[in-house]
Structure 1
Amino acid sequence: MFVRLFGLMKVPLIFWVSPSVVTLNDKECVIRIPLNRRTKNHLNSMYFGVLCTGADIAGGLVAMNEITASKKKVALSFKDFKADFLKRAEGDVHFIVTQIPEIKQFVADVIKSGERMNFPVEIKAVVPSINPTEEVAKFVLTLSLKVKN
């Protein structure tokens, strides 16, 4: 619900693609975006812009949760974005991040230092209904955080 509310209030495109949180625990974060009329391209696979949006959500959610829990004002952005599209995503896509402990420590380090810091977050995208282990895309987004004054 938090992801959709954030989308509705801050980034309408996130709301538009209807993401949902499948898993969010100490080991992984999994975001699902359905393949439907809103998210598919002319080849009936997921549009690359939607794939990038899913990677954005998965890459930032853990950090956003940690920032919210800290009650500190921290600016979150992505410094860069690298994407490899490996195969057409012809079903609902799961975006998976497994660097949860590292991201949590990164947020703590930023809050402690007060300085802008960067951290590369790796996201893999799979279509579980077709092959839950075969990546259809992989991303590296550099998470950039800074404590606001």
Structure 2
Amino acid sequence: MKLTTKANWGLKLFAWRYIPLIGFCSPRIERMDEDSLEVSIPHTWRTKNHLGSVYFGALAIGADLAGAFLVFHKAKARGVNANFAFKDVQGEFLMRPEARVHFVSNDGALIDQMLDESIVSGQRINRTVSVVVTCPTLHGDTPMATFRLTLSVKAKPR
């Protein structure tokens, strides 16, 4: 089974079990490797605002997923229990996304470091991850928004 197919099933199950609002936005993992994750959210009646662009809440959900789903994936692959949350978020909205939006985080190496440090120290580790939002069908790689989220991770071996 392809990695993204398996990850998308995991995302659907996680959303259904723990955070149904994520599932309501119909996110899809487009690309995932050790260093990066790309998630997309469609431009539909569920995710649009009154101006016809992707709603702020849907953008926040996409940034959340792009910034944290690698923690979930990497911890599972290592056989580690990892609790994670966001301590704060900063967003800059540059253009109105009026089609499917893509959220990209290239912080896989940082997440590996956080998991390693937390396992060794037994402490919660806080670092800032970055997410860039694009709308490829309308604007290519031009950023629509950027997010900086402080990710807080505490990991321990099972």
TM-score, normalised to structure 2's length?
0.89
2:106 paired residue number? 98
- The Cα offsets for residues 50-88 of structure 1, whole Å up to 9 and x where unpaired, read as 000000001001111111122222211111111111110
Q: 1:25 to 1:134 in 2, by over 3 A?
A: same
Supply the distance in 2 between the matched residues of 1:132 and 1:84 (Cα, whole angstroms).
18
CA contact (8 A) 2:28 2:39 kept: yes
The partner residue of 2:86 within 53, 69, 78 is: 78
CA contact (8 A) 1:74 1:145 kept: yes
CA contact (8 A) 2:119 2:156 kept: no
Supply the distance in 2 between the matched residues of 1:102 and 1:117 (Cα, whole angstroms).
11
2:62 paired residue number? 54
Supply the distance in 1 between the matched residues of 2:29 and 2:112 (Cα, whole angstroms).
18
2:22 paired residue number? 14
Supply the distance in 2 between the matched residues of 1:64 and 1:27 (Cα, whole angstroms).
14
Supply the distance in 2 between the matched residues of 1:117 and 1:97 (Cα, whole angstroms).
18
> What SS does the corresponding residue of 2:137 show, helix, strand or coil?
coil
2:48 paired residue number? 40
Supply the distance in 2 between the matched residues of 1:97 and 1:74 (Cα, whole angstroms).
19
How far off is 1:22 after superposition? 0.3
> What SS does the corresponding residue of 1:138 show, helix, strand or coil?
strand
- The Cα offsets for residues 10-69 of structure 1, whole Å up to 9 and x where unpaired, read as 000100000000000133210000000100011111000000000000100111111112
Supply the distance in 1 between the matched residues of 2:82 and 2:111 (Cα, whole angstroms).
14
2:141 paired residue number? 133
Q: RMSD value over aligned CA atoms? A: 1.4
Long gaps (5+) in structure 1: none
How far off is 1:148 after superposition? 6.3
Long gaps (5+) in structure 2: 1-8
Supply the distance in 2 between the matched residues of 1:4 and 1:50 (Cα, whole angstroms).
16
Supply the distance in 2 between the matched residues of 1:93 and 1:82 (Cα, whole angstroms).
18
**Stretches of 4+ moved more than 3 A in 1?**
none
Q: How many residues align?
A: 149
